[in-house]
Structure 1
Amino acid sequence: MNMKLFTAALLGSSLLCSAAHAQEATLTIESWRNDDLAIWQEKLIPAFQAAHPDVKVVFSPSAPTEYNAALNAKLDAGSAGDIITCRPFDASLDLFKNGKLADLTGLSGMENFSDVAKSAWTTDDGKQTFCVPMASVIHGFIYNKDAFKELGIEPPATEDEFFAALDKIKEDGNYIPMAMGTKDLWEAATMGYQNIGPNYWHGEEGRLALIKGEQKLTDPQWVEPFATLAKWKPYLGDGFEAQTYPDSQNLFTLGRAAIFPAGSWEISVFNTQVDFEMGAFPPPVKAAGDTCYISDHTDIGIGMNAATKNPEAAKTFLTWVASPEFAEIYANALPGFFSLNSTPVKMEDPLAQEFVSWRGKCKSTIRSTYQILSRGTPNLENETWVESANVINGTVTPEEAGKKLQAGLDSWYKPAE
């Protein structure tokens, strides 16, 4: 009997050991955000491991331009990390459809996100979600407060006020009114067309109507933002056609330009580089009293490699990423990348708080080209880059840009009946 008890005790202790051993895991995170490395190593991972000491986490980023290709190669070879940082929309949807990302629909913590927050990582039918939403970026205009004060300019609320401010800055001659170039193409579309456009097509109303085929890019609400962009040309400074995105950043941070058409991701970069006070204003509305719309674009999520050997540890980690604790640490460690968690996060950075405050007074939407409409060839997102730059350069008219974009879309896209 004693021998049986001893054997049972031995068996029990070995099961306990193996259970404890099963809890121990090392998770590797794949990401394109190599600028986040210190934040993960110094803030996020220590906070997670304080509650889960048995799960080790290694953040292993790739260069942003190489991430998609490198990740696909690793996934195909079976050498990818356990946790996959997710691009928004089709790149991640393709990974899910190909069995590379796990279904996280039922993951504990997913209830902390709205359908809009999850939209970048949800199937077209809305039934399955495959990445935990981490953050969005918001578009608007960052300005040099010292320059505005010097010239007696208030942040503009309407387009008339906006152009009046640009005229005043240009007339003074001490600053380039606006720092933006067209050489890199995407800058003209992302910080130009997609920044101001939602006020014209009424955010989600227009975006969804475009997907359904109820609106076209030749309609006035899609052509008019191009016409407004064309009016930016005199305010961009000499040689803007050859100006790269880093050139634009430098013009602003060195105090040579008064306004920067921006994405909120600039905040943490600019904070370390400017020696003047910065402010921000949302895209000006066409007329006083109009409803304002902002591009509050779902930018980054995080999912699980379907082939991970540590699924339970990975789910534990992703549930923590879905928590208000993660949201607060991440959003404040990286001001300008705003939490998509339903629990509001108070921003410590005043410029970040200014951007996120617009959620309370404007209607949020995402970039019009990102969901469904850039799956074919020609790719609507990339074509919008080209046409936005061409319109600003004055080589095509706003109407020609709309026609070209719609013709390209019509060549492959048929709205669902």
Structure 2
Amino acid sequence: MMSKTMIAVLLASSVLGSAGAAYAEDVTLNIESWRNDDLPIWNEKLIPAFEKSHPGIKLKFNPSAPTEYDAALGAKLDANSAGDIITCRPFDKSLALFQKGQLASLNDLPGIDKFSPVAKSAWETDDGKTTFCVPVASVIHGFIYNKEAFDKLGLKVPQTEDEFFAVLDAIKKDGTYIPMAMGTKDLWEAATMGYQNIGPNYWKGEEGRKALIAGKEKLTDPEWVDPFKTLARWKDYLGDGFEAQSYPDSQNMFTLGRAAIYPAGSWEISGFNTQAQFKMGAFPPPVKKAGDTCYISDHTDLGIGMNAKSAHPKEAKAFLEWVASPEFAEIYANALPGFFSLNSTPVKMTDPLAQEFVSWRDKCKSTIRSTYQILSRGTPNLENETWVESANVINGTDTPEQAGEKLQKGLDSWYKPAK
């Protein structure tokens, strides 16, 4: 018969044994995201690469529909049922989550120092002291063109605005192609691929954007009105009926070979690669005159952070440290050409069009869209108003000066720059 001591020893060892077994079980981190298109990339490339170097941690990618993500994530976070890892929208939506205590500070995360101030600007507090998501990807603006059309017409890629309009005139005169594929029906296209594409060369990128936030510049100043003047000149090159042309119409017009130039965001690369039957090239927004510093909209689009109430903070931080690594950057940027790594370590990309876009970072200064940080928190919303005015200017229903006045008046009605 077993003694009481013996039973106690056996019980203790079995409890310790089971505790040891529980400890040895894999921890699963759940990832919240709106990028449901990325599910195969996570399952086939990113997750296997991470799990291979991090035994004991498993990842599960759980995307929602993009239009439902913000509301669904907010409800889950409020109910303490959200995943450990949160894919972060840029600027105010993620800042609000951090201010509610739902995203953790990542100031002490190894590798977070590998990102530039512009890269971190979308996921930090207004004072710049706390970063709460690892910057992952940006999209770059410029122009995609039909190389075969350019070769056929003997055209060179324009460097300056005068050269740009000379190219458009030559395409128009020849008559084979519509010079430029863009419509104004959906409004945002005119602002995002028009005003925010060419504007940074006028307001000098971050310098102008920050001066606007500080109240030192106004939207009625020449550097903010002049891009509208250039945009007004686009009207003659957009083809008949551009006012009724939607964003998908513009995409089709270009990929079917009917237009020679497409004012673009780099997110088009994957789709255009599969749809266009001709060789494509890209060029950055032309500068006003030769020798000017060039600026590009290199717009922060996606970050990844940690649920402040995660039951596995240690493992979540190990994952985020990997997200901040060059290994993650290389896999992600090549799996999604046109979504560029924000990591300071250069990423070698295999897609030639993506490589062309990202090469502009070496010669131009990067900035983000002027309306995205702080200036669209009130009503009227400056981002949405800029859509309307960009379309109005191209359509000829507002002058560039009227557009600047309307935008500044709307901003003045609610925004008081910090003194």
Q: Deviations over 1:294-320 (max 9, x none)?
A: 011111101112222222222221111
Q: Deviations over 1:339-364 (max 9, x none)?
A: 11111111111111111111111111
Take 1:167 and 1:284, find their aligned partners in 2: how far apart are those partners? 16
Shifted more, 170-179 versus 321-330: the winner is 170-179
Change (3 A) 1:242 1:112: same
Alignment of 1:393 onto 2:395: yes
1:307 maps to which residue?
309
2:22 maps to which residue?
18
1:61 pairs with one of 56, 63, 70: 63
Take 2:32 and 2:19, find their aligned partners in 1: how far apart are those partners? 33
Q: CA deviation at 1:35?
A: 1.6
Q: Deviations over 1:49-92 (max 9, x none)?
A: 11224222222222222222222222223332221111110111
1:381 maps to which residue?
383
Equivalent residue of 1:195, what SS? helix
Q: CA deviation at 1:10?
A: 5.5
Shifted more, 274-283 versus 36-45: the winner is 36-45
1:406 maps to which residue?
408
Code of the residue aligned with 2:68 in structure 1: it is E
1:250 maps to which residue?
252
2:235 maps to which residue?
233
Equivalent residue of 2:314, what SS? helix
Tell whether the 8 Å contact from 2:118 to 2:366 is kept in structure 1 after alignment: no
1:77 maps to which residue?
79
Code of the residue aligned with 1:97 in structure 2: it is Q
1:160 maps to which residue?
162
Equivalent residue of 2:333, what SS? helix
Equivalent residue of 1:400, what SS? helix
Q: Deviations over 1:355-374 (max 9, x none)?
A: 11111111111111111111
Q: CA deviation at 1:108?
A: 2.2
Take 1:307 and 1:225, find their aligned partners in 2: how far apart are those partners? 46
2:417 maps to which residue?
415
Code of the residue aligned with 2:158 in structure 1: it is P
2:213 maps to which residue?
211
Q: CA deviation at 1:163?
A: 0.6
Shifted more, 8-17 versus 372-381: the winner is 8-17
Take 1:114 and 1:167, find their aligned partners in 2: how far apart are those partners? 40
Take 1:107 and 1:344, find their aligned partners in 2: how far apart are those partners? 20
Shifted more, 113-122 versus 73-82: the winner is 73-82
Take 1:170 and 1:70, find their aligned partners in 2: how far apart are those partners? 48
Number of corresponding residues: 415
Tell whether the 8 Å contact from 2:371 to 2:383 is kept in structure 1 after alignment: yes
Please give the TM-score of this superposition, normalised by the length of structure 2: 0.95
Q: Gaps (5+ residues) in structure 1?
A: none
1:146 pairs with one of 123, 145, 148: 148
Q: Deviations over 1:29-48 (max 9, x none)?
A: 22121221111111111111
Tell whether the 8 Å contact from 2:180 to 2:237 is kept in structure 1 after alignment: yes
Code of the residue aligned with 2:233 in structure 1: it is K
Code of the residue aligned with 1:211 in structure 2: it is I
Shifted more, 25-34 versus 246-255: the winner is 25-34
Alignment of 1:363 onto 2:365: yes
Shifted more, 10-19 versus 208-217: the winner is 10-19
Code of the residue aligned with 1:104 in structure 2: it is L
Shifted more, 200-209 versus 299-308: the winner is 299-308
Equivalent residue of 1:301, what SS? strand
Take 1:329 and 1:181, find their aligned partners in 2: how far apart are those partners? 34
Q: CA deviation at 1:167?
A: 0.8
Take 1:247 and 1:9, find their aligned partners in 2: how far apart are those partners? 70
1:104 maps to which residue?
106
1:48 maps to which residue?
50
Code of the residue aligned with 1:343 in structure 2: it is T
Take 1:390 and 1:62, find their aligned partners in 2: how far apart are those partners? 35
Q: Gaps (5+ residues) in structure 2?
A: none
2:187 maps to which residue?
185
Q: CA deviation at 1:376?
A: 0.8
Q: Tell me the C-alpha RMSD between the 2 structures.
A: 1.7
Alignment of 1:88 onto 2:86: no
Code of the residue aligned with 1:29 in structure 2: it is I
2:117 maps to which residue?
115
2:297 maps to which residue?
295
Shifted more, 224-233 versus 11-20: the winner is 11-20
Code of the residue aligned with 1:318 in structure 2: it is L
1:224 maps to which residue?
226
Tell whether the 8 Å contact from 2:191 to 2:386 is kept in structure 1 after alignment: yes
Shifted more, 97-106 versus 366-375: the winner is 97-106
Q: CA deviation at 1:8?
A: 7.3
Q: CA deviation at 1:113?
A: 1.5
